[in-house]
Structure 1
Amino acid sequence: MEQLVYPHDLLKISFEKDELSAFPKWAQLKLTEFQTVIVTRQKPLSKNGVVVGVRGNQRNQRFAFEINKQMIQKRVTPYEALEHFRFNQLPESRKDFPVFQALRNTQDKQLLSSNFGITGSAGYEIVTGDMMVKETSDLDLILKVNHRIPFDKLKKLWENLNQFSVHADVQLVNDDRGFSLEEFVQQNGKQVLMKSGTGPFISNCPWSDLIQGKHC
């Protein structure tokens, strides 16, 4: 059965060290230690391929490449990562970071449903143990949607998630498409930058583009 993967999924992959010879040195070191990559929205060139990325400890350290799905040993979705997050299981040295404090607060206040997932540096660290979170890290979340949500409800959600002194970067997603909750609220739900597997585009009908996958 074909392995289904979606943007933001974390994949543990198998590879031979010589396959990394053309990669940047930092990417070689990161992959050798953690063997974990992030699924991107980019369309693969091969039928059984998937485009993934590896991130380093510096903001400018990003490297994308295509793998064969047969290399996948384990897949962790953002929803699984959030479900398994336990603040009290973090190392003591990580508990004071604002993004982890904010994530604990969202759980304590039951602001996140099962359709939420954690991405970004916090999601990566939760899954791998690699200490990627910084003092300035955002709370990167995705919310999987398959129906239109009232604007007032989304505005209240955005306000609630941004009450913890950490910027909450929330993406509403469906399949390989997604848009920013913050931008949606600021534009009164009328226009957003839609991200997709074929590239970003300006959408004047976000719900139609997101859920039905077609322009209005």
Structure 2
Amino acid sequence: MIQPHDLLKIKEGNHLIEKENLPGWLSPYVSDVRYVVVRRAPIIDREIPIGIRGKTRTERFGTFIPIGDVIERITPEQLAKGQIWKTYPFYERYDVFQALDLVESVLQQYQLSWGPTGSVGFELASGQPTITETSDLDIIIRTNDIPIDAAREIVSAFEEANVRIDPLVEMQDGAISLIEYSKGQPPILIRTTDGPKLINTIPGYN
């Protein structure tokens, strides 16, 4: 099942070239785009909501692509399970890779399924350079039940990293910030396929 944050490799001759209103930064190389990120939006008529990354933080474009254009799906959990960063050529260059070692060590203690997203996940999956010296480390933790005490312990442990770690908890009905949740101060923002909402209680959470 295709989910938000999945990386999709798309075939040559895909339908991106047919999209209208492409931004100026994308138009010159749209035919070269091979990797896209699944956005948090409904899949309608087999059209997958995707995001295309440019060369800078401000270059982002959201659109849709037919499921038939996808030739490979790479999940954040696959990147974590395969420890892809440990053999990556730039492992010693960027602090975000050492931070992944910390994340792996911490979350193993709680037996939580996780994976890198954002620029780190994209570069590990595609091999295309997107990480910079100032990149944060975005990760997802996939669970429907995490005690608030555990959330606080995890957030505290992540603060030992040399980069900012931004953990997002992916649940059945949406995603919440682990940092926000750990503060125990409702309401809390949950990101859903229908848009963001404020909720006072989180089903299944302690």
- The TM-score range, normalised by the shorter chain, is 0.7 to 0.9
Which residue is equivalent to 2:42?
A: 43
Which residue is equivalent to 1:80?
A: 78
Correspondences of 1:115-126 after superposition (within 5 Å): 115-126=113-124
Which shows bigger deviation, 151-160 or 80-89? 80-89
| TM-superposed deviation, 1:18 | 4.0
Letter in 1 for 2:41: Q
Quick one: distance in 2 between partners of 1:90 and 1:136?
Answer: 18
Contact 2:15/2:66 (8 A) holds in 1: no
Letter in 2 for 1:37: V
- Report how many residues are paired: 201
C-alpha deviations, 1:103-134, integer Å up to 9, x for none? 12333x35344511110100001111111111
Q: Which runs of 5 or more structure 1 residues have no equivalent in the other structure?
A: 211-216
Which residue is equivalent to 2:161?
A: 164
Which residue is equivalent to 1:202?
A: 198
C-alpha deviations, 1:131-152, integer Å up to 9, x for none? 1111111111111113x32111
Quick one: distance in 2 between partners of 1:29 and 1:101?
Answer: 35
Quick one: distance in 2 between partners of 1:169 and 1:150?
Answer: 18
Which shows bigger deviation, 122-131 or 8-17? 8-17
C-alpha deviations, 1:143-174, integer Å up to 9, x for none? 1113x321111110111122112111101112
Instruction: Report % sequence identity.
Output: 29
SS in 2 for 1:8: coil
State yes or no: 1:62 paired with 2:51.
no
Letter in 1 for 2:52: V
| TM-superposed deviation, 1:201 | 0.8
Which shows bigger deviation, 70-79 or 188-197? 188-197
User: Following TM superposition, where does structure 1 have runs of at least 4 consecutive aligned residues deviating by more than 6 angstroms?
Assistant: none
Which residue is equivalent to 2:130?
A: 132
SS in 2 for 1:111: helix
TM-score (norm 2): 0.86
TM-score (norm 1): 0.83
Cα RMSD over matched residues? 2.3
Quick one: distance in 1 between partners of 2:98 and 2:32?
Answer: 27
Which residue is equivalent to 1:141?
A: 139
Quick one: distance in 2 between partners of 1:53 and 1:142?
Answer: 17
SS in 2 for 1:149: coil
Which residue is equivalent to 2:93?
A: 96
Contact 1:142/1:173 (8 A) holds in 2: yes
Quick one: distance in 2 between partners of 1:201 and 1:88?
Answer: 37
| TM-superposed deviation, 1:88 | 4.1
Contact 1:9/1:78 (8 A) holds in 2: yes
Quick one: distance in 1 between partners of 2:10 and 2:29?
Answer: 12
Q: Which runs of 5 or more structure 2 residues have no equivalent in the other structure?
A: none
CA 1:87 to 1:173, structure 2 compared with 1: closer, same or farther past 3 Å?
A: closer
| TM-superposed deviation, 1:6 | 0.4
Letter in 1 for 2:188: V
Which residue is equivalent to 1:214?
A: none
Quick one: distance in 2 between partners of 1:29 and 1:88?
Answer: 34
